[in-house]
Amino acid sequence: MTFRKYLVLAGVTVFAAAGDSMLSHGMKQTGNISLRHLQGVIFAVRNPFVAVGILLLLAFFASYMNSLSWADLTYVLPATSLGYVLLALVAKFALHENVSPMRWLGIALISGGVGFVAGGPALTAHDHEHPESPSFESAQDKLLAAKDAARNGAPAEDDTQVVSGGVQR
């Protein structure tokens, strides 16, 4: 894996933990809201901590989508489990929440499972794929080229050749 891919996974981890923490802090300031009363939701979003939390969670989602474009879900999700540790540390020391020993044990078990996943490949190889088979993109490119040629008055490319007298071989 490249440094950029590690950076994206770190972004997924940090953005999720920071966004959840900011959202939690802001919602504790805002108080209870109900989806039945839209003005309460709008009031909550106007809280700066909630707004920043939403922006950080949007950054998380963009990083998460990026990581899923080049790696399997079964690799990405466990690889970002450091976020559980970060979230527990922020909850304990910044939000002053009580994190019980059972929660710490659960976080340790989840994080320990990363060792099992980290040894495997980031992308699953599929035996049924054939590299010599044409891809959808190449077929689409050929179709677009044929349409452009037809618009310009040129004959479309074909595997058969026309020789004098109209006989094909």
The 10s digit of each residue's pLDDT in 65-104 is 999 999 988 888 887 888 888 999 999 999 999 999 999 9
> What was the pLDDT predicted at 99?
92
Q: What percent of the chain has pLDDT over 70?
A: 71
**pTM reported for the whole predicted model:** 0.67
> What was the pLDDT predicted at 64?
95
> What was the pLDDT predicted at 160?
46
User: In which residue are the tokens 């999700």 written?
Assistant: 77
- Using the predicted structure, report yes or no on whether residue 107 has a pLDDT greater than 70: yes
CA 86, 77, 28, 100: dihedral to nearest 10 degrees?
-60
- Using the predicted structure, report yes or no on whether residue 164 has a pLDDT greater than 70: no
CA distance 39 to 151: 56
